[in-house]
């Protein structure tokens, strides 16, 4: 049955599922910010959101590490589906992490009389600036663990975001030919691969004759 399905359609279905997965979790994390602010919601429900958000943040961390350090070295012809989709998904993951931590701030009352807007603001600034301005007089060990975990995650995601955006910029050519050796070496490598494939084809044809 799977062989009857064209490869192009299955690839589109995979991409559609990934898009829905990423967008759904972004809205789920934002919903957690609202739910954690409502007093009528059972605290167990909020704790379940905190637990799931922690698993989701861990999943994002592992996935980004795999994309950076594992997947490119598993196969020699590793390719991304789209640079644009990758960048948009990374932005969604960044703000999803911001929302999960903002909901955690509200659930455990890191700041007195904090509104969802305040929680999102503090969470975002803590992600990008490593600020420690959240009610230092009431810090507990759990609070410090959460804040330091978010700060480290923020540094990691910020570096990845900058690296991804910078890699999308076109690299200008140099007038110095010695500085363009990388392009020539890649072209030579491609030519060598094509020659090896031609040799294999010729060898197979001569062996069958």
Mean pLDDT by 10 residues, the chain (209 residues): 48 81 94 92 93 93 80 67 78 92 90 87 83 56 81 81 69 61 59 76 64
**Is the distance from CB of 103 to CB of 28 less than 8 angstroms?**
no
Three-point CA angle 129, 132, 137, nearest 5°: 170
State residue 28's pLDDT score: 96
State residue 43's pLDDT score: 92
The token duo for 53 is 């958000």
- Separation CA 139–CA 74 (nearest Å): 44
State residue 169's pLDDT score: 67
State residue 3's pLDDT score: 42
Give the contacts of 78 (CB within 8 A, at least 6 positions apart). 71, 72
Q: End-to-end CA distance of the chain, in Å?
A: 37
What is the tens place of the pLDDT at every residue in 99-132?
A: 999 999 999 888 778 899 999 998 888 888 765 5
- Separation CA 120–CA 33 (nearest Å): 8
Q: What ranges in the chain are assigned the alpha helix state H? A: 7-37, 43-65, 71-74, 83-108, 116-129, 141-168, 181-208
**What is the b/e burial string over 69-83, where b = at least 16 CB atoms within 10 angstroms of the residue's CB?**
eeeeeeeeeeeeeee
């Amino acid at each position: 049955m799977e062989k009857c399905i064209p490869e192009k359609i299955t690839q589109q279905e995979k991409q559609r599922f990934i898009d829905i997965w990423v967008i759904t979790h972004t809205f789920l994390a934002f919903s957690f910010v609202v739910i954690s602010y409502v007093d009528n919601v059972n605290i167990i429900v909020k704790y379940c959101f905190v637990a799931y958000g922690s698993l989701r943040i861990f999943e994002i961390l592992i996935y980004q590490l795999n994309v950076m350090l594992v997947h490119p070295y598993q196969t020699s012809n590793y390719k991304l589906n789209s640079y644009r989709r990758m960048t948009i998904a990374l932005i969604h993951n960044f703000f999803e992490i911001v929302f999960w931590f903002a909901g955690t701030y509200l659930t455990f009352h890191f700041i007195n009389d904090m509104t969802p807007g305040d929680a999102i603001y503090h969470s975002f600034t803590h992600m990008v600036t490593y600020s420690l301005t959240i009610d230092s007089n009431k810090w507990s060990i759990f609070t410090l663990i959460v804040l330091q975990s978010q700060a480290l995650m923020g540094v990691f995601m910020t570096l990845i975001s900058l690296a991804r955006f910078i890699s999308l910029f076109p690299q200008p050519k140099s007038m110095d030919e010695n500085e363009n050796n990388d392009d020539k070496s890649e072209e030579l490598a491609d030519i060598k691969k094509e020659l090896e494939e031609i040799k294999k084809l010729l060898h197979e044809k001569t062996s069958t004759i």
